């Protein structure tokens, strides 16, 4: 690259967004759609910046079928590499971009996940005798070993009652005294003795350190003032080698949910949930969309799981 073109390239990278993009493109070829997902920006803004960098000799592209993949030129000039490394250490967004890129690439690689994402929301549209989510849930629960489960934000305890059929013990926590009392009454009426209802806040759960094998958050984090604190509590109360499971809404724009359903958060992105678990200390994290509604406002459900590192 000539000195004149090098100066032009340096000027192009004076825009932080382009430096973030080039850092990603130096790691992997991505499409515009994938870049939108990673950076949370609109298509026009992504395309404009890619065009500027391509014109400056920093980015190349290639067409594969209907997709166009972009990547950093190889090799980049030493001065540009030095600028990128400087930017990597100074821009707080870079860490999140790396996680988001890995999630995007996992989707691309994992065709099975892609297949089930396409099926999300279709199960049950056509009647097939004997097939139901309830029946499937009962069948899968029989495969689980007996364990101590914390159902955080248990509400009326529907999930807790289902889990109790297999679990050694279920600790159901909810901040509503009325919900706790109702759950206790239903458990007693049905002769379920291995559910223990505890009144408390899931951000400061009334459960001892390492007391449980599995922590469940089922459609509760979007009601929680601080999801980060709640997930940290899950890490505290689960034993080494134990697991956490989060079912929650994907990020959406249905503002009415705040008033209609008392939602504190309008869902979460896959990256959000991944980062909640990672920052709390969980490893082996997996996040994917597992269901999608077919009617407005088209809510989608994300499943996120992780493990607490074992002792030693």
162, 138 Cβ separation under 8 angstroms: yes
What pLDDT, on the 0 to 100 scale, is given for residue 166? 86
pLDDT-based confidence at residue 47 (cuts at 50, 70, 90): very high
Name the average pLDDT for the chain: 86
Strand-pairing partners, residue 286, are 305
d(CA 174, CA 246): 16
Query: Rg of the Cα trace of the chain?
Result: 23
What pLDDT, on the 0 to 100 scale, is given for residue 66? 78
What pLDDT, on the 0 to 100 scale, is given for residue 307? 96
What pLDDT, on the 0 to 100 scale, is given for residue 145? 82
SS3 category, 79: helix
Average pLDDT over residues 222-238: 92
25 has pLDDT over 80: yes
Closest CA to 33 of 42, 21, 25, 23: 42
**For strand 169-174 and strand 212-218, is the pairing parallel, antiparallel, or unpaired?**
unpaired
What pLDDT, on the 0 to 100 scale, is given for residue 54? 93
SS3 category, 153: coil
Q: What is the pLDDT of residues 263-306, one digit of tens each?
A: 888 899 898 899 899 999 999 999 988 888 888 889 999 999 99
What pLDDT, on the 0 to 100 scale, is given for residue 132? 57
For the ranges 38-47, 78-87, 121-130, 181-190, the lowest mean pLDDT is seen at 121-130
* Tokens linked to 235: 């890490």
Domain boundaries, the chain: 3-100, 117-307
The CATH architecture of the domain made up of 3-100 is Orthogonal Bundle (1.10)
What pLDDT, on the 0 to 100 scale, is given for residue 140? 66
What global pTM score does this model have?
0.67
What pLDDT, on the 0 to 100 scale, is given for residue 115? 47
More confident residue, 302 or 132: 302
What pLDDT, on the 0 to 100 scale, is given for residue 138? 63
Of the chain, the percentage scoring pLDDT greater than 90 comes to 47
pLDDT-based confidence at residue 70 (cuts at 50, 70, 90): very high
Phi (first) and psi of residue 241, to 5 degrees: 90, -10
Fold of 117-307: Rossmann fold (3.40.50)
Closest CA to 52 of 1, 28, 17: 17
For the ranges 36-50, 123-137, 179-193, 222-236, the lowest mean pLDDT is seen at 123-137
Q: In which residue are the tokens 């065009």 written?
A: 51
130 has pLDDT over 70: no
H-state helical runs in 166-265: 177-189, 227-237, 257-260
d(CA 252, CA 159): 25
What pLDDT, on the 0 to 100 scale, is given for residue 128? 47
* Tokens linked to 279: 């920052």
């Amino acid at each position: 690259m000539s000195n004149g073109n090098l100066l032009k390239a340096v000027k192009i990278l004076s825009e932080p967004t382009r430096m973030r993009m080039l850092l990603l493109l130096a790691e992997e070829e991505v499409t515009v759609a994938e870049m939108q997902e990673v950076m949370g920006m609109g298509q026009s803004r992504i395309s404009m910046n890619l065009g500027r960098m391509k014109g400056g000799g920093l980015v190349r592209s290639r067409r594969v079928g209907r997709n166009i993949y972009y990547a950093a030129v190889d090799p980049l000039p030493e001065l540009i590499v030095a600028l990128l490394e400087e930017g990597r250490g100074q821009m707080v967004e870079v860490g999140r971009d790396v996680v988001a890129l890995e999630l995007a690439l996992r989707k691309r690689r994992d065709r099975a996940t892609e297949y089930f994402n396409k099926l999300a929301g279709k199960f049950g549209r056509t009647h097939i005798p004997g097939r139901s989510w309830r029946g499937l849930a009962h069948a899968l629960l029989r495969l689980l070993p007996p364990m101590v489960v914390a159902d955080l934000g248990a509400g009326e305890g529907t999930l807790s009652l289902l889990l109790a059929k297999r679990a050694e013990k279920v600790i159901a926590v909810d901040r509503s005294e009325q919900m706790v009392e109702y759950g206790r009454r239903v458990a007693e009426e049905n002769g379920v003795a291995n559910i223990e209802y505890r009144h408390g806040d899931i951000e400061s759960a009334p459960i001892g350190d390492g007391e449980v094998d599995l922590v469940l958050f089922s459609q509760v984090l979007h009601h929680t003032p601080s999801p980060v604190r709640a997930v940290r509590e899950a890490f505290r109360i689960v034993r080494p080698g134990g697991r956490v499971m989060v079912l929650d809404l994907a990020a959406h724009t249905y503002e009415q949910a705040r008033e209609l359903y008392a939602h504190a958060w309008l869902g979460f992105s896959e990256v959000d949930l991944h980062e909640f678990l990672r920052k709390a200390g969980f490893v082996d994290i997996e996040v994917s969309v597992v269901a999608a509604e077919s009617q407005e406002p088209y809510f989608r459900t994300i499943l996120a799981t992780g493990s607490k590192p074992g002792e030693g």
